[in-house]
Amino acid sequence: MKTASEIPHREKSATDAFVLEFSNVSKTFAVGKRRVEALRAVSFNMPTGVITGLIGPDGAGKTTLMRLAAGLLKPDQGRINVLGLDATADSLRVQASIGYMPQRFGLYEDLSVQENLDLYADLQGVQKKERPSRYEELMQMTGLAPFTSRLAGRLSGGMKQKLGLACTLIHPPRLLLLDEPTVGVDPVSRRELWAIVYRLLQEQEMSVLLSTAYLDEAERCHEVVILDEGRVLGQKPPAQFSAELQGRAYLVSFSGANKRHIQQQLAAGQGVIDAVIQGEKVRLVMAANVVPRVDSMLKGAVQAAVQPVPARFEDSFIAMLRSRSGGEPAMSIELSAAPSQPTASAAKVIKVDGVARRFGDFYAVRDVSFDVAQGEVFGLLGANGAGKSTTFRMLCGLLPPSEGKLLVAGLDLRKAAAAARARIGYMSQKFSLYGNLTVLENLNFFSRVYGLSGAARKERIRWALETFELEALAHATSGDLPLGFKQRLAMCCALMHEPEILFLDEPTSGVDPLARREFWHRINELAEQRVTVLVTTHFMEEAEYCDRLAIMAAGRILALGAPADIKKQARSKHNPDPTMEDAFIGLIQEGHGSEPIQ
Amino acid sequence: MRLRGLMRKEVLQIVRDPSSIAIAFLLPVVLLLLFGYGVSLDAENVPVALVVEQPDAATAHFAGGFLGSRYFAARQSFSMEEALQSFLRHEVNAIVYLREDFSANLKRSEAATVQVIVNGVDANNARLISGYIDGTWNEWVRQQSLASGLGAGMPVQVQQRIWFNSEVRSQNFLVPGLIAVIMTLIGALLTALIMAREWERGTMEALLVTPVAMREILIGKLLPYFALGMGGMGLSVAMAVWLFDVPLRGSMWVLFGGSALFLLTALGMGLLISTLAKNQFVASQIAIIATFLPAFILSGFIFDIGSMPPVIQGLTHVVAARYFVAILQSVFLAGNVWAVILPNAAALVVMAAVFLGITRRKSQKRLE
């Protein structure tokens, strides 16, 4: 976490005006029969020479805003000024002087690093004689120099992102637009990307507009624009946002109790706006002028101590979203029949032994072994391409392993895949729902697929609609639902047959922080009822919610254990209380350098 | 510099991705082999049951006409029962039936009847078979009358000459038409896929924000694939001439000029499709339905346009392959017949201009 004084600043010259001005800009899209208002009368000015962060939940309009600024879309209404030019009328000139990196930067994966650079140098009209020095500078800055002849498709996710940035920077732009450059990228590359952005700001006098879904990154920006449902909710330095919540944030430390239980009880407490697990403690954000009376919130004899802490940006962001969406939803899941009672306290329901999966000569997963006990929440943590999804697909019997043995619910998936599958629920990354069916039709379909019929099916669907608060949306087309609701419905569908083991593949990626909190609440409830939950994520802070986790990189497990134990490994003299991110970075750096995939 | 960069990128991608090379070079080979050897519109060795209830010299002479013909694979049997069984089992396509009184009636110069049953399910084939049977039977009658000295002075004689494809090989007719179909596939399918791929992989968005002009992006796509398509064309022509012995009577220049025009049209269609459908699956579906199938069915490649209902005939005018098939067939089989080539070439010029023009208009440097 950076404090404001740590963020590098450039001396402002007197002539600096705004590099980007939006005045009263609206943009609507027609999606099928529906009209989506992506931006509604957005006005903001971006000052020169600073990093402006664009923060907002998925679907808030961040990408639309970026594309409008790059002259790729035409506003329905309003004016956009980029570096003094009209972005709509003068889009070619605008494009010649800005750099824009889309969310999935269009690298040609079948071209090498050098060939990609050459292409963008040609397109940007960089003179031949200027190239060698520019290339050298960029390669040195991104650390890609040793890989210039490698195909872009064979780079790791973080390296791809850095190459994308290098291609965007080949002709030094005055304004740099970065659309979620750090999403799904491993923490090491994330830190490196930020270092590059700071360097550009200082050395090349660039102004940067950067959108992100990681709230801790907001604090690395000089100024933050909060966007929600197409509206600007505020524009201020991040410290000013959190200043409003000063004195309302606390850390609750306790001992002798499961932290998820404590978090759950505190979240339901009077006047609590937000309660999240932070390390081994629980962070509380209280409503204005409410004293946290933790003892009355906690059941049973738990020793808890409350300690006030400075507010951070995330606290104010959540408070802002909460006040907009109104009260907190009541959440509890009651499984109609609790799955089999605990037989032995540590019954291993999943055993993975020396598993590898090869695609051609490329190992997506290699030598992976772990086991999961019943009722445990087990996390697989890693960047995109670390092998998490491949491991999951093997566990669900969707992909046979090349080597090794997998036992799920005591069954060998290669022999009894169907029998094992009846006992597991799987929610895939893309929420495999039928977008053109309604919520009810989806539930009907998935319950039938799992062999429910008659009264049992009706009852189960009623349960699903009620527990996941989908009654009001039963006849809405699933494809039109906001992402958070899609995720809820997908989870519902995976739970229709009351599985003993639930696999959740990146369930929270792209979902806004409120929906993420709600989602983890439901996972807690399931774990309480001894459902085993396996979950993959690339959000470091979500790892704290797991009982145990495995950190994966380049197809291997780097560390395995309880979050506290994993963090303990990273403890050092000048970092006595490392975060999960510190631990992850430490593991990758000592493990096999920051350059994985070969 | 920008255009050169784009083209170099395209060439590198073609070299690295074997699928486009496969479409350009492997596909013509496979299709030509399949159609050149597999599809034949000639009926040869048609299985026929010859039922002769009472064999004697006269019937043996009659049967000899069938047994010796290259059109038939005749098998004799002695009972109609047996022949009908094999007819129903699809072992034979026709039955020629000589009743036991055939020779007797013939001798008495009374009407000697021959019954012919043809399987009419495949109407075209049935027409061919009954034509061949008629021919064989006529030949026999002529020889009979010559032998008996009756028909020496027939009043009317037909002198038949077949032009352009004197051996009546269906390959000579199919292979040139097939080239048009292949070129449609290479041109439209390949470009439709590659543009859609740029959209799908997100590379288009990155291209659009560079100062490159849309015109340059389009030309950067057209030229490399034009070269690839002409390569495929050259391969197809070589196979036609050297493997299938199709005569090439017109000039090479006309052939390649016409092909270049058609390829531009096909590339234009492909580009248009992919600017409308920004996803490879949809683009390939549209490319197949809107270009490949019409080129197959409505171009006159197999099915004669003249015998289609007027409405469908009208529809064939918007199928570019139709004009190319006409050019190809005349250049291969008849020579440089300018009266055919010029109007068809003019039609191709118009179509190429229309497709490329619409594409240029539809592709804006925007994402919507």
Reply yes or no on whether the pLDDT at A592 is more than 70: no
A236 three-state secondary structure: strand
For A460, the token pair is 């189960």
Gap between the Cα atoms of A353 and A348, Å rounded: 13
CA-wise closest residue to A483 among A441, A548, A564, A429 = A429
Q: Is B166 exposed, middle or buried (0-12, 13-18, 19+ CB in 10 A)?
A: exposed
pLDDT mean over B91-111: 84
Residues of B in Cβ contact (< 8 Å) with A91: 365-366
Under 8 Å CB-to-CB from A184, ≥6 apart: which residues? A157, A383, A384, A509, A538
CB contact under 8 A, B6 and A123: yes
The answer to whether B275 and B359 are in contact (CB under 8 A) is: yes
Residues of A in Cβ contact (< 8 Å) with B203: 106-108
Would you say residue B162 lies in a domain?
A: no
CB contact under 8 A, A120 and B208: no
DSSP letters along A381-439, please? E--TTSSHHHHHHHHTTSS--SEEEEEETTEETTT-HHHHHTTEEEE-TT----TTSBH
A1 three-state secondary structure: coil
B109/B173 same-domain check: no
If pLDDT is split at 50, 70 and 90, which confidence band does B187 have? confident
Gap between the Cα atoms of A413 and A400, Å rounded: 8
Between A35 and B294, whose confidence is greater?
Answer: B294
Residue of B4, B5, B366 lying closest to A74 (CB–CB): B366
Reply yes or no on whether the pLDDT at B152 is more than 60: no
Would you say residue B160 lies in a domain?
A: no
Per-residue confidence (pLDDT) for residue A81, from 0 to 100 = 92
In angstroms, how far is CA A462 from the centroid of its own chain?
A: 31
CA of B219, closest CA in chain A: separation in Å?
Answer: 14
CB contact under 8 A, A111 and B12: yes
All domains of chain A in start order, with CATH: 4-236 (3.40.50.300), 247-309 (3.30.70.100)
For A455, the token pair is 């009264």
What are the Cα distances from residue A248, in Å, to A251, A274, A328, A525?
A: 10, 10, 18, 27
Per-residue confidence (pLDDT) for residue A16, from 0 to 100 = 56
Per-residue confidence (pLDDT) for residue A346, from 0 to 100 = 61
Gap between the Cα atoms of A152 and A160, Å rounded: 7
Gap between the Cα atoms of A321 and B263, Å rounded: 57
Stretch among A57-66, A331-340, B218-227, B254-263 having the lowest mean pLDDT: A331-340
CA-wise closest residue to A147 among A137, A159, A158 = A159
Residue of B198, B201, B368 lying closest to A73 (CB–CB): B368
Residues of A in Cβ contact (< 8 Å) with B278: none
Gap between the Cα atoms of A565 and A559, Å rounded: 10
Instruction: Give the residues across from A114 on adjacent strands.
Output: none
Per-residue confidence (pLDDT) for residue A121, from 0 to 100 = 93
B223/B280 same-domain check: yes
Gap between the Cα atoms of B295 and A592, Å rounded: 57
Under 8 Å CB-to-CB from A209, ≥6 apart: which residues? A20, A46, A52, A54, A66, A69, A175, A176, A177, A178
Gap between the Cα atoms of A84 and A18, Å rounded: 8
Chain mean pLDDT for chain B: 86
pLDDT mean over A112-136: 92
CB contact under 8 A, A111 and B16: yes
Most trustworthy range by pLDDT among A111-125, B43-57, B198-212: A111-125
Instruction: Give the residues across from A305 on adjacent strands.
Output: A253
Per-residue confidence (pLDDT) for residue B237, from 0 to 100 = 92
Q: Does ipTM exceed 0.90?
A: no
B176/B263 same-domain check: yes
Number of independent structural domains in chain B: 2
Would you say residue B158 lies in a domain?
A: no
For A86, the token pair is 């009209």
What CATH number is associated with residue B74? 3.40.1710.10
B29/B87 same-domain check: no
If pLDDT is split at 50, 70 and 90, which confidence band does B356 have? very high
B143/B182 same-domain check: no
CA of B249, closest CA in chain A: separation in Å?
Answer: 44
The answer to whether A204 and A279 are in contact (CB under 8 A) is: no
Per-residue confidence (pLDDT) for residue B154, from 0 to 100 = 58
Per-residue confidence (pLDDT) for residue B269, from 0 to 100 = 92
Residues of B in Cβ contact (< 8 Å) with A115: 9, 12
Per-residue confidence (pLDDT) for residue A597, from 0 to 100 = 40
- Give B269-290 pLDDT, tens digit per residue: 998 998 888 888 899 899 889 8
Residue of B5, B8, B211 lying closest to A95 (CB–CB): B211
CB contact under 8 A, A72 and B202: no
Interface test with B, best of A108, A117, A175, A179 (most B CBs within 10 A): A108
Would you say residue B161 lies in a domain?
A: no
| Among candidate residues B147, B180, B207, the one where a domain is terminated | B147
If pLDDT is split at 50, 70 and 90, which confidence band does B145 have? confident
Reply yes or no on whether the pLDDT at B73 is more than 90: no
Per-residue confidence (pLDDT) for residue A598, from 0 to 100 = 35
Gap between the Cα atoms of B66 and B51, Å rounded: 12
Chain A residue closest to B17 (CA)? Answer: A110
* Total Cβ atoms within 10 A of residue B206: 24
- Give B2-33 pLDDT, tens digit per residue: 889 999 999 999 888 888 888 888 888 998 88
Would you say residue B163 lies in a domain?
A: no
CB contact under 8 A, B1 and A122: yes
CB contact under 8 A, B365 and A118: no
For A494, the token pair is 């995976």
CB contact under 8 A, A118 and B201: no
Per CB distance under 8 Å, which residues of A are interface residues toward B? 29, 67, 70-74, 91-92, 95-96, 98, 100-111, 115, 118-125, 151, 164, 167
Per-residue 3-state assignment (H helix, E strand, C coil) for chain B: CHHHHHHHHHHHHHHHCHHHHHHHHHHHHHHHHHHHHHCCCCCCCEEEEEEECCCCHHHHHHHHHHHCCCCEEEEEECCHHHHHHHHHCCCCCEEEEECCCHHHHHHCCCCCCEEEEECCCCHHHHHHHHHHHHHHHHHHHHHHHHHCCCCCCCCCCCCCCCCCCCCCCHHHHHHHHHHHHHHHHHHHHHHHHHHHHHHHCCHHHHHHCCCCCHHHHHHHHHHHHHHHHHHHHHHHHHHHHHHCCCCCCCCHHHHHHHHHHHHHHHHHHHHHHHHHCCCHHHHHHHHHHHHHHHHHHCCCCCCCHHHCCHHHHHHHCCCHHHHHHHHHHHHHHHCCCHHHHHHHHHHHHHHHHHHHHHHHHHCCCCCC
Gap between the Cα atoms of B244 and B29, Å rounded: 12
CB contact under 8 A, A119 and B206: no
CB contact under 8 A, B365 and A72: yes
If pLDDT is split at 50, 70 and 90, which confidence band does A387 have? confident
B346/B255 same-domain check: yes
Interface test with B, best of A91, A103, A122 (most B CBs within 10 A): A122
Residues of B in Cβ contact (< 8 Å) with A72: 205, 208-209, 365-367
Per-residue confidence (pLDDT) for residue B326, from 0 to 100 = 92
Residues of A in Cβ contact (< 8 Å) with B6: 119, 122-123
If pLDDT is split at 50, 70 and 90, which confidence band does A11 have? low
CA of A161, closest CA in chain B: separation in Å?
Answer: 13
B196/B254 same-domain check: yes
- Give A419-428 pLDDT, tens digit per residue: 777 888 888 8
Residues of A in Cβ contact (< 8 Å) with B210: 95, 120, 123-124
CA of B279, closest CA in chain A: separation in Å?
Answer: 15
B54/B127 same-domain check: yes
Gap between the Cα atoms of A185 and A190, Å rounded: 6
Percentage of chain A surpassing pLDDT 90?
23
Query: CA A558, A559, A563, A565 torsion: positive or negative?
Result: negative
* Total Cβ atoms within 10 A of residue A35: 10
If pLDDT is split at 50, 70 and 90, which confidence band does A594 have? very low
B195/B333 same-domain check: yes
Per-residue confidence (pLDDT) for residue A398, from 0 to 100 = 82
Per-residue confidence (pLDDT) for residue A32, from 0 to 100 = 67
Would you say residue B164 lies in a domain?
A: no
CA of A174, closest CA in chain B: separation in Å?
Answer: 14
pLDDT mean over B46-57: 86
Residue of B8, B202, B365 lying closest to A104 (CB–CB): B202
Residues of B in Cβ contact (< 8 Å) with A88: none
Residues of B in Cβ contact (< 8 Å) with A121: 5
Chain B residue closest to A69 (CA)? Answer: B209
B32/B180 same-domain check: yes
Gap between the Cα atoms of A519 and A515, Å rounded: 6
pLDDT mean over B169-188: 85
For residue B51, the enclosing domain spans 46-147
Would you say residue B154 lies in a domain?
A: no
Strands in A103-201 per DSSP E: 175-179
Interface test with B, best of A97, A119, A209 (most B CBs within 10 A): A119
Reply yes or no on whether the pLDDT at B58 is more than 90: no
B227/B286 same-domain check: yes
If pLDDT is split at 50, 70 and 90, which confidence band does B182 have? confident
Gap between the Cα atoms of B22 and B186, Å rounded: 10
What are the Cα distances from residue A340, in Å, to A332, A503, A531, A533, A557?
A: 20, 18, 9, 15, 30
Reply yes or no on whether the pLDDT at B261 is more than 90: yes
If pLDDT is split at 50, 70 and 90, which confidence band does A23 have? very high
Residue of B12, B207, B366 lying closest to A73 (CB–CB): B366
Under 8 Å CB-to-CB from B268, ≥6 apart: which residues? B351, B352, B354, B355, B356, B359
- Give A503-557 pLDDT, tens digit per residue: 998 888 777 788 888 888 888 888 888 889 999 888 888 888 899 999 888 888 9
Chain mean pLDDT for chain A: 84
Gap between the Cα atoms of A53 and B96, Å rounded: 89
If pLDDT is split at 50, 70 and 90, which confidence band does A192 have? confident
Reply yes or no on whether the pLDDT at B264 is more than 90: yes
DSSP letters along A53-97, please? EEE--TTSSHHHHHHHHTTSS--SEEEEEETTEETTTTHHHHHHH
CA-wise closest residue to A205 among A174, A177, A178 = A174
Would you say residue B34 lies in a domain?
A: yes
Gap between the Cα atoms of A255 and A280, Å rounded: 9
B68/B33 same-domain check: no
Reply yes or no on whether the pLDDT at A369 is more than 90: yes
- Give A262-287 pLDDT, tens digit per residue: 888 888 888 888 888 888 888 989 88
